[in-house]
Amino acid sequence: MNAEVRYVTGDATAPVGSGPRVIAHVCNDTGGWGRGFVTALSQRWRAPEAAYRAWYRERDRPGSDFGLGAVQMVEVGDGLWVANMIGQHGIARPGRKDVPLRYDAVDAALRALARHCIRLGASVHAPRIGCGLAGGSWDRIDPLLQTHLIGQGVPVTVYDIPAAAPAA
């Protein structure tokens, strides 16, 4: 399989192409869900948010894998999953300069995601993960995608939101 990152303008919650697909995104480790890309996910499906919140509630139970670097696969349709990847420690706060994204956690999550995608024969579809509210840099995320997904033969499509039309 020849894989390459493909960039498109569109909605990552409506992945293009055929075959099994995984919509990947970064979540925080605080149980918060309600801003950024997750709002688009929740408008389309209830399951990813419900699964994430249940996963968070169970975080202190023996055997729970909730934490930085973990991935939760949530099936939302026939051959379609959402990958909740814990790659953000805390949330961005106004007036604070620290970045909540943790590159080591994204690195670990993408390694795990690659294993899931290989098992499923799935491609990955995502916004520019970790680069919105999490405060990450695409220059640091792209090499992780190249190494862990593209390098393993997993096709990746990255979705950019269409530019807003100028006000009349």
Q: Convert the pLDDT of each residue in 22-32 to its tens digit.
A: 999 999 999 99
Cα gap 12→161, rounded to integer Å: 9
Task: Judge whether residue 159 has pLDDT over 50.
Answer: yes
Task: Judge whether residue 62 has pLDDT over 50.
Answer: yes
pLDDT of residue 97: 74
Instruction: Kindly report the average pLDDT of the chain as a whole number.
Output: 91
Identity of residue 117 = C
Closest CA to 83 of 106, 57, 59: 106
Range 6-18 average pLDDT: 94
* Residue 104 structure tokens: 């080591």
Cα gap 130→100, rounded to integer Å: 9
Task: Judge whether residue 162 has pLDDT over 50.
Answer: yes
Cβ atoms of 87 and 68 closer than 8 Å: yes
What is the tens place of the pLDDT at every residue in 69-100? 999 999 999 999 999 999 999 887 766 677 88
Q: DSSP assignment, residue 98?
A: -
Token pair 């269409």 in the structure block, residue: 162
Closest CA to 162 of 7, 4, 48, 5: 7
Name the architecture of domain 5-160.
3-Layer(aba) Sandwich (3.40)
Task: Judge whether residue 3 has pLDDT over 70.
Answer: no
Pairing of strands 5-9, 80-88: unpaired
Range 97-106 average pLDDT: 89
**Please, where are the H alpha helices in the chain?**
37-44, 47-57, 103-120, 138-148
3-state secondary structure of 72: strand
Task: Judge whether residue 128 has pLDDT over 50.
Answer: yes
